[in-house]
Amino acid sequence: MFSGAKAGLRPIYNAILKAGLKIGKDAKACPCQTIVPLYRNHVFAQIKPTTTKRVDIGFALGDMKPTGRLIDTGGFAKKDRITHRIPLESPQDIDDEVKHWLKVAYDRDA
């Protein structure tokens, strides 16, 4: 997932994975070939290296209206689990807003 041109994304991935797993004691990661879902009972977020310069953190937020940096993916209308995302271009982009949405998505999966 982070080979070749995407190797520089690993610090962003490591930071968001750490934040996602700290969100609750029952949060788990299940790495796949192209994404890393974070789940509790269901997937509440996913980490995806989208370009060679960006990792997207996707959230399962249902029909919530996007605010701040949150972007609606159109997933709710398509009945996808991941409905919103925030693009991350550096570990510093993982701020209180990103952690807030991780917590909201995690709590919705209770």
> DSSP string of 32-93?
-SS-EEEESSSEEEEEEE-SSS-EEEEE--TTPPP-TT-EE-STTTTT-S--EEEEESSGGG
What pLDDT, on the 0 to 100 scale, is given for residue 107? Answer: 96
pTM here is 0.92
- Mean pLDDT of the region 89-100: 97
What pLDDT, on the 0 to 100 scale, is given for residue 110? Answer: 81
CA–CA gap between residue 68 and residue 59 (Å, rounded)? 14
What pLDDT, on the 0 to 100 scale, is given for residue 2? Answer: 84
In tens, the pLDDT along 34-75 reads: 999 999 999 999 999 999 999 999 999 999 999 999 999 999
Q: What is the mean pLDDT of the chain?
A: 95
**Beta pairing, strands 84-88 & 71-72:** antiparallel
